[in-house]
A and B are shown apart, each in its own frame.
Chain A
Amino acid sequence: MRSSLAAVVALARRHRSLTILIGWALVGALLPMIVLIPPFSTFQGQGLWIGGFANAGVFILLALGLNIVVGQAGLLDLGYAAFFAIGSYAYAFGASSFTGLHVPFWPMLLIGALAAATFGVLLGAPTLRLRGDYLAIVTLGFGEIVPAVFLNADKYTRGTNGIGGVAQPELPIIGKFTFSDSLPFYVTMVVILALVMVFIYRLQESRLGRAWQAIREDELAASSAGVNTITTKLLAFALGASTAGFAGVFNASKLGIVSPDQFGFAVSFTVLAMVVLGGMGNAWGVAVGAFTLYMIQSVLLKQLNQFFGGLHIPVLQNIDFVQYQFLLYGLALVGMMLLRPEGLFPSRRRQQELHGDADTVDGAGPTAETSDALADR
């Protein structure tokens, strides 16, 4: 029994991409069933749960994308929602009754990602030379400008009202996206997440992924070792942005409407909290962190409201827990940074990096491997 388990683990290590696909298939199949069991079934019906999971998928996608930028390359992007907005609006322009265009879903997915990546490069090219914290501020400013432009350029975007009548795609096998049945959306989401995750793991172990790690740990050393820091950082930025573009197209197709208020700083902040909580740099950890936070925010806080509302305890029943979700995120960020900066599910490298100074980082293993790989460029 024990040896067969070990064999499975060894097999999983060797065929990582396959493991990820199987893992997502299992998770994707099990989640809709788990919610039929109490206590979950008492909270809300299966349809609502699946819709919620699909929405959580959007945030997982966002968190995975931000993880490339923050976790892998160590660049703090505080305006990540801007790329989400660009993807969403790209889809709204390409497939809605507002513009009269009806580009199908799959090409739009790529166009949305490309549009977001283009803006990522346009913003990144001049600013990635700056040191990390300046980059944070520039991205923060960008994150404010983009929704403001969509809000104020109301001739082209219908301002606060947003663009409605966004096409809901009909996909082969999976079926048509509708408001009443979110299963097709859920299935598509799981498929996309699985593919993105495979892609991210492949990247992480590629030369590019190692270059990101090198830059994150010591930019000067990385550049001396022959890493082109600007291009490498730009790629991280563009890939992160395009993932947000994916998520944007999805979200627009699910909601059927895009409006500027969906992309405020709160979104960027939430996604950052997800990445930090899950463990910067570890894709599975980030996915779990995103899922957990989204579920806390969309289900648990509402349940707490109902629970305490029903108990008639003087103070507690008047607290609107949903209103304080950002207090929770804020406390989570500060608490995590002070107590466990590597996140709940850390990547091993990141853990070494964040505890103690550079000397204690295990120099023999991965570092040597990184520098070898870089040397033969």
Chain B
Amino acid sequence: MRTDGRRVLRITASVAGALLVAYVVLGVQQFQNFLTLGAIYALVALGYTMVYGIIELINFAHGDVFMVGAFASMWIMTVPLGLADRPIEDPIRLAGVLLIVVVATMLLMGTIGVIIERFAYRPLRHAPRLAPLITAIGVSFILQNIIQAVFSPSPIGVPQVFPRVKIDLLGGSIGVLNIFMVIVALALMLGLQLFVGRTRLGRAMRSTAQDRQAAELMGVDINQTIAITFLIAAALAGAAGVIQGLYFGSIQFNLGFFAGLKAFTAAVLGGIGNTTGAAIGGFVIAFIEVLAAQLGFSRWSEVAVFTVLILVLVFRPSGILGQALGERA
């Protein structure tokens, strides 16, 4: 336990240090963007890393699951809740609304994730590796086109229910919305760590990832474990979708493509299969993107991110925190 405590302390210290550096380098305004983008990329990257960890599939459709999450949250806000596009001033009501939206979106997306796994990936579990990969690309396009058909090909506004209040912090003013988003993201990540590390199902997931056959012999229900992994991954992407909609105010059917690629880069950067690494990778990618924009290269930010991806894969395929994967990578 003591080493555990020390580890937590060390991680907290380095995270605080990194945040301070980011704050100094980026300035208040860009720091907020960095935090929010980082939270989104980290949440989506967790999904990539978990699914890869357990069935070694790059789930190409995951970026689009995130996009569907953004649309689902928009739909939940406008149709069942009937919210108008104006801030809710009453804090208790606001908290209630946000809770409902986040939870409902996560549940819905989790269900969709399980359905995708059941019908698109499970039948191909023993097929050659190329097959599920191609299926995933197909699923990605199907999701995009369904959203395009149901909603609209052009960008759609998301009700801006969160008041644009700012508070003074560290000599600058930071939006409460940004703080809320980062807290939601961190809470979810912490919850995930606890779930994977401390619960029976989490242990089943870890053992399945290590050796599926051995886990099965020990009585782990493989199908159920994989389904739960997809459920959690999609639910986290759904939460990221809520944040995306609330922060940017408008969403489009194709936003999942680039976001997914960046989040995947984050997962690889952090060491694929490693959840802490994915979270850190998400913030690193967000930092690169925001910094590029700040230096006046916003048009090049995507090129920068993919260059990072290629460089990491070439020189350190196991990522920042990943264990040496050797020929696995």
Q: Which residues does A use to contact B, with CB under 8 Å?
A: 70, 74, 76, 78, 126-127, 130-134, 136-138, 140-142, 144-145, 148-149, 151-152, 265, 269, 272, 276, 323-324, 326-327, 329-334, 337-338, 341, 353-354, 357
Contacts and interface: CB of A to CB of B under 8 A. Distances in A.
Contacts, number: 126
Contacts of B126: 357
Interface footprint category on B: 35 or more
B302 A337 contact: no
A173 to B, nearest CB: 42
Interface string B289-309: 000000000011011001101
Most buried by B among A70, A137, A269, A329: A137
A155 to B, nearest CB: 13
A144 B301 CA distance: 12
Contacts of B89: none
B120 A334 contact: yes
A333 B313 contact: no
A141 B138 contact: no
Q: Is chain B's interface secondary structure helix, strand, loop, or mixed overall? A: helix
Contacts of B120: 334, 338
A269 B153 contact: no
B13 interface: no
A127 B134 CA distance: 20
Given A133-B58, A137-B268, 20 more contacts: A76-B134, A130-B313, A130-B329, A131-B328, A132-B129, A132-B130, A133-B56, A141-B309, A145-B306, A148-B300, A152-B303, A265-B257, A323-B153, A326-B144, A327-B146, A330-B142, A332-B138, A334-B142, A337-B134, A338-B123
B329 A144 contact: no
A341 B130 CA distance: 10
Contacts of A353: 128
Contacts of A323: 148, 153
B45 interface: no
A327 B314 contact: no
B23 interface: no
Given A144-B261, A144-B306, A276-B134, A324 B127 contact: no
B252 interface: no
The 3 closest A-B pairs by CB, nearest first: A333-B138, A330-B141, A327-B145
Given A131-B328, A269-B137, A327-B141, A148 B130 contact: no
Nearest to B304: A145
B317 interface: yes
B149 interface: yes
Contacts of B128: 74, 341, 353-354
Contacts of B153: 323
A222 to B, nearest CB: 14
A131 B133 CA distance: 13
B313 A145 contact: no
B31 interface: no
B310 interface: yes
A140 B261 contact: yes
Contact of A138 (B140, B258, B309): B309
A134 B327 CA distance: 12
B124 interface: yes
B112 to A, nearest CB: 15
Given A131-B327, A134-B317, A327 B149 contact: yes
Contacts of A330: 137-142, 144-145
Given A130-B317, A134-B317, A137-B268, A334 B329 contact: no
Contact of B310 (A76, A133, A141, A338): A141
B64 to A, nearest CB: 10
22 contacts: A74-B130, A76-B133, A76-B134, A126-B310, A132-B129, A133-B58, A133-B133, A134-B313, A137-B261, A138-B310, A140-B261, A141-B265, A145-B302, A265-B257, A326-B141, A326-B144, A327-B146, A330-B145, A334-B142, A337-B131, A338-B135, A354-B128
B134 A324 contact: no
A126 B317 CA distance: 11
A142 B310 contact: yes
Contacts of B132: 337
B66 interface: no
A330 B57 CA distance: 18
A199 to B, nearest CB: 24
Interface string B102-142: 00000000000000000010011011111111110111111
B311 to A, nearest CB: 9
A142 B137 contact: no
A57 B212 CA distance: 46
Contacts of A148: 299-300, 302-303
Contact of A127 (B146, B299, B314): B314
Contact of B149 (A126, A132, A133, A324): A324
Contacts of A78: 137
A159 to B, nearest CB: 10
B34 interface: no
Contact of A337 (B57, B124, B313): B124
A136 B141 contact: no
A303 B329 CA distance: 47
Nearest to B144: A326
